[in-house]
Amino acid sequence: MQDHRFLFAVIVAGTIVGLAGTDLVLPAVPLLPEFIKGTLTQAQLVLAAFAGGTAIGLLAFGELGARFNQKRLLVFALTGYGLLSFAASMSRTIQELVLLRFFQGLFAAAPAVFAPGMIRALFNDRQSLRALGLMGSIESVVPALAPVLGAWLLTFFDWRISFYITAVLALLLGATWAATPPIEATTTRKSREGYLVLLKSPVFLRYSLSQACTLGGLLVFVFGAPTVMTVAMGGTMRDFVTMQIIGISLFICASNTVHFVVDRIGPEKTIFAGSALAAFGAIAIVAYSLLTSHHRAEWLWFLFAFVNLGLGFRGPPGFYLAVVASGDNDSRGAALVMLMVFMTTALGTAALAPFITIGLVPLAITAGIIIVMSIIILALLPALPMEEETQAN
């Protein structure tokens, strides 16, 4: 069991490094035009390119993982991710950085794709479900915690520090996996069913798309907030960090107590309640942005907290049921869930980029529309049969 815990830690560490590739860089984005050639609009594409590359990488590694040795693929991907991180730190223009970030994101996708199958091979069904929920909770914390760490690092180093850190961590993890004995997940739970089967399943789409809208909408807001708060609102990076600290604290409270809520009202009602809470926060931010022309950071600290709370309540059970709905096709199922999150984030961030300097209104409306879509999806698509939902609970 001790070896299994170590392997679980290494698996989760890989997903964290992959996810942190975007969020750790986030606070440096408004500063990029001061150090390398480019504009603020182009700087936003640094985020969108990584998310778009990750989206394609999820799809590619989901298929490759169903055909080839996952451990070897993971070593290859982590090594490539690390080398590209070093290359990105030497970029001379934002356009060059955007290109490198796309391929960096592609390689960063592998750990998130392979993690569910490996975990299910390491543990029995009950332990696997708990481990998957823990992993989902940890992954959901990264988008909130990594920007705070990135902002703190910028007080001591320049914009390249986040790339150095991800490079070193990815290469170390790649070396660790190379020295690790094979895990049976490389040969077990293979499914001949392709992506099309999952995409045709309205039950799987219910959980994956609604998860993508809530988390993706939150990420679009987080990605745009540093520029809006420091440039358009005339604030400082400390305002953004404060918003994130409040959101992180509330998210951790919600995600670590959500199992009590699930025990009382069930996973379906918990998912809907969390989605509704996030949507309330998003709509409130839109209303605030439209009703006043002088926007204060303190109001965003308060209103964005509802979005974080909502994700904390709906995130873990939503991830659970998405995995359950994919059956034994977990490699492709996990890839599609993450794909939808990153595609939502990439498209939302790219659509927002030309308007990012206008102020809070475009950011609030873009994120708000995406987050509210989660409620619509839950209302239109069918849930898991009661017996499967009970097993997931």
User: DSSP readout, 108-120?
Assistant: HTHHHHHHHHHHH
Q: Given the structure tokens 């794909």, which residue do they identify?
A: 339
**Which residues constitute the domain of residue 236?**
2-392
Beta bridge partners of 93: 37
For 59, 91, 102, 287, 357, the CA distances from 84, given in Å and listed in that order, are: 20, 11, 10, 41, 29
CATH of the domain at 89: 1.20.1250.20
Is residue 382 classed exposed, middle or buried when 0-12, 13-18 and 19+ CB atoms within 10 A define those classes?
exposed
Question: 14 near 174, Cβ under 8 Å?
Answer: no
Total number of domains in the chain? 1
Distance CA 135, CA 9 (A): 9
pLDDT band at residue 234 under the 50/70/90 scheme? confident
How far apart CA 185 and CA 204 sit, in angstroms, is: 22
3-state secondary structure of 103: helix
> What is the pLDDT, as a whole number, of residue 387?
47
Token pair belonging to 330: 């977990």
Q: In the predicted model, what is the mean pLDDT of residues 96-123?
A: 82
**The most confident of 28-42, 165-179, 189-203, 282-296, by mean pLDDT:** 282-296
pLDDT tens-digit series, residues 287-309: 999 988 788 888 999 999 999 99
Taking the CA atoms of the chain, what radius of gyration do you get in angstroms? 20
Q: Which residue has the higher pLDDT, 246 or 67?
A: 246
pLDDT attached to residue 56? 85
Query: Which pLDDT score is estimated for 2?
Result: 47
pTM of the complete model? 0.73
CA distance 313 to 257: 8
CA trace torsion 211, 305, 291, 30 (10° rounding)? -80
Which of residues 185 and 280 earns the better pLDDT score?
280
pLDDT of amino acid 257: 81
